[in-house]
Structure 1
Amino acid sequence: MKIFLKLLLTALAVIVLANILPGVLVTNYVTAVIVAVVISLLNMFVRPLLVFFTLPATIVTLGLFLFVINAIIILLASKLVSGFAVSGFFTALLFSVLLSIFRSFLFSLLKEDKK
């Protein structure tokens, strides 16, 4: 149930950021949920491979290359999902950074006290 709620919160973040950022287009709410699922799957399967193969670049840049990997994940999602479009690399970079911040804020609201 918590995974489903996290997907819905990610879809909400995608919708809000698409309305704020120029260059990001989400056609409807169903597309936002599909984008949330696709981004989650890409983060689960593709991101570890990208991190592994770009490990020297990540080490040299002291981890800043991970932002580039996040932007690549967003661009892949925009190619895979019709109805979701990102205009360019720097828009995807800004979108991924803001999505990470927004998701961490929303997920912090889900934390339960373990007393």
Structure 2
Amino acid sequence: MKFWLRIIINAVLFMALAGFFKADFYVSSVWVALLASLVLALLNAAVKPILMILSLPITVITLGLFSIVINGLMLQLTSFFVGANFRFSSFGMSMLIAVLMSLCNAILSSYVGHQDRSD
């Protein structure tokens, strides 16, 4: 259930950020946002660990800031697999969207992910 909740949250974030950055980030519909969110989750599970291991030296040198580049690359890969209905104007824009999505996910996970365990 938590997996599908994150998929829906990311789809809503895609739609909100596409509305905010109309000229630079395009999502054609809610269904495309859901598809892109699912593709991003699959890429994060399959490809991102390999990229993190390969880029470990530069990530250590930059004190973890290179992970923003990796997140932007994951969004660009998502755009490639989803097609023309989900696109960014530049790689810099995909990195900005990655940072904003990371911040929003961190804030939302602190509210949504915890259940009261008072038993």
TM-score bracket relative to the smaller structure: over 0.9
Give the SS at the match of 1:25. strand
Q: Distance in 1 between matches of 2:2 and 2:57?
A: 35
Q: Which amino acid aligns with 1:42?
A: L
Q: Partner of 2:117 in structure 1? A: 114
Unaligned runs of 5+ in 1: none
Q: Partner of 1:91 in structure 2? A: 93
Provide, for residues 67-88 of structure 1, a one-character-per-residue CA deviation record: whole Å limited to 9, x for no partner.
1000100111111102100111
Q: Partner of 1:5 in structure 2? A: 5
Offset of residue 113 of structure 1: 1.9
Structure 1 residue ranges, 4+ long, deviating more than 6 angstroms after superposition: none
Give the SS at the match of 1:96. helix
Q: Which aligned pairs between 1:1-115 and structure 2 lie closer than 5 A?
A: 1-21=1-21, 22-82=23-83, 83-110=85-112, 111-115=114-118
TM-score, length-scaled by structure 2? 0.91
- Matched positions, count: 115
Q: Distance in 2 between matches of 1:45 and 1:2?
A: 18
Q: Distance in 2 between matches of 1:103 and 1:15?
A: 14
Q: Distance in 1 between matches of 2:108 and 2:37?
A: 14
Q: Distance in 2 between matches of 1:104 and 1:33?
A: 19
Percent of pairs with identical residues = 34
Q: Which amino acid aligns with 1:40?
A: A
TM-score, length-scaled by structure 1? 0.94
Give the SS at the match of 1:109. helix
RMSD: 1.1
